[in-house]
Amino acid sequence: MKKYFIPLIFSTFFFQFLQAQGCSDAGICSIGTLQENPDKAAKNQIEVSTILGAGESDTQYFSPSVTYTRNFNERWDAAAKITSSFASGSFGQRGSIGDAYLLVNYKPANGKIFKWSYTAGAKIPFNRANLKINNHPLPLDYQSSLGTFDFLTAANLSYKKFDLNAALQIPVFNINANSYFAEYSGTADFPTTNLFERKPDMLFRTIYTITTKKITFKPNLLFIYHLGEDTYENIYGRRLSIAGSQGLTVNGNLISTYNLKAASIELSLATPFVVRDIRPDGLTRKYTVGISYKTRF
Amino acid sequence: MKYILFSLAVSFLMISCESEGELTKTEVGSTPVLSESVLQYSGVFTPTSGIDVTGKAGIYLDGEQYKVSLEGFSISRGPDLKVYLSTSPNPNEFINLGALGNGMSQTYVIPKGVDFNTYKYVLINCQQYNHLFAIA
């Protein structure tokens, strides 16, 4: 079992970091789990999940996703994930497919106490963050992707019942074509994000695992630091920094997993304790409730 | 079962939806121009290469508010067309008045303090690809 246990754990686990781009605040807490794989022969895992959440102003979200993980051997595995997001609020309802994530995970030979794992991958957007309703440009809160190609890398350390994770998400190539101007929108609830450019995120997470016969609980804290002020182009065509968009987000999250024979059901509840002053990327959630079903074969 | 589940999930991810809300009910460019508004400047749109455009642009003074009105207007479709006030016939130094709407008659509010001796042109520009469509 251990042969497959760690790689599957880390590949799944890293998706929690990936969601930093999609849900930089509470949303990151409600995706993915540290799911043990009790099936020795299982080389594949499919996860179907959805998140319900409340965002800025009156925005509410429904965000389904699907993930496929392939375990090649005790050292290597890979995963692909597709996300989508449906937002509703004063602007109306807008939903679309969001991003694809492609990841490779490597676990070197480890000692029995300290176990390391490393992950690298990419996020690929399916749109340019300029979805509209009735020709009206929409803030990033209503976009299913931020329109950036990102490089992602992470390191994970397991020690007894603790897991510690550090990750970096860097926008490498920006195709964001968002054209939302607050001054033309009729509301001041969302900042201007015309031709938005986003800075990288750095993440740190610590998890404690409590195991019962059928249910595993994973209370955890997630720290995200946004490494710089994001920018946009104003109505005069000048690029400006968004003051207050840099800074720390701290989330609390509880993941509860009910284990079945070759599957599991997971519930994730999350909320932020500390948020950045300004959150133009639309990733902030007041709370999220995530549920997922995983099957192994 | 797992394949059915997977297929259903993928199908669901592909769904795209759009419906209007309180802030998107009105047509883009539907700002009214009052009958007592006074026409200050006007010009006829000319297209750039490969573009079809008809209509003219007028700058109106509506009380203390300037507005630009597109009249008898139609243009080739573009992915992300915007209305600019510009200092030249090219989108180098400009004021972005927002997204272009669909109608033949559209009006956009101009920010306060614009010098029309400097911003003499109305442009229709595709912001996404920075491609100029029409000049008035």
Render pLDDT for A230-286 as a digit per residue (tens, 0 to 9).
999 999 999 999 999 999 999 999 999 998 888 999 999 988 899 898 889 988 888
Q: How far is CA B63 from CA A25, B16, B36, B39, B105, in A?
A: 46, 43, 8, 12, 20
pLDDT band at residue B87 under the 50/70/90 scheme = very high
Mean pLDDT, rounded, for A44-61: 91
Domain ranges of chain A: 2-296
- Minimal Cα–Cα distance from A261 to chain B, Å? 14
Q: Is the separation of the CB atoms in A251 and A221 below 8 Å?
A: yes
**Please, what is the average pLDDT of chain B?**
89
Task: Please classify residue A261 by burial: count the beta carbons closer than 10 Å to its beta carbon, then call 0-12 exposed, 13-18 middle and 19+ buried.
Answer: exposed
Write the ipTM. 0.89
Residue from B77, B96, B131 to probe the interface with A (highest A Cβ count within 10 Å) = B96
Residues of chain B that touch chain A, judged by Cβ-Cβ distance less than 8 Å = 1-2, 5-6, 9-10, 12-25, 27-28, 80, 82, 91, 93-102, 111, 127-128
Residues 6+ apart with CB under 8 A from A41: none
Backbone angles phi, psi at A128, to 5 degrees: -105, 25
Task: Please classify residue A50 by burial: count the beta carbons closer than 10 Å to its beta carbon, then call 0-12 exposed, 13-18 middle and 19+ buried.
Answer: buried
Neighbours of A219 (CB within 10 A): 14
Residues of chain A that touch chain B, judged by Cβ-Cβ distance less than 8 Å = 46, 48, 64-66, 68, 82-84, 86, 88-97, 128, 130-137, 177, 179, 181, 183-187, 194-195, 235-237, 293, 295, 297
pLDDT at position A112 is 81
Q: Among A288, A140, A293, which Cα is nearest to B5's?
A: A293
pLDDT tens, A184-215? 999 999 999 999 999 999 999 999 999 998 89
Class of domain A2-296: mainly beta
CB contact under 8 A, A86 and B82: no
Residue B14 has pLDDT above 80, yes or no: no
Q: Kindly state the tokens that stand for A188.
A: 């001041």
Residue A18 has pLDDT above 50, yes or no: no
- Minimal Cα–Cα distance from A248 to chain B, Å? 31
Q: Kindly state the tokens that stand for B88.
A: 């030249």
Max distance between CA atoms of chain A, in angstroms, equals 62
CB contact under 8 A, B23 and A186: yes
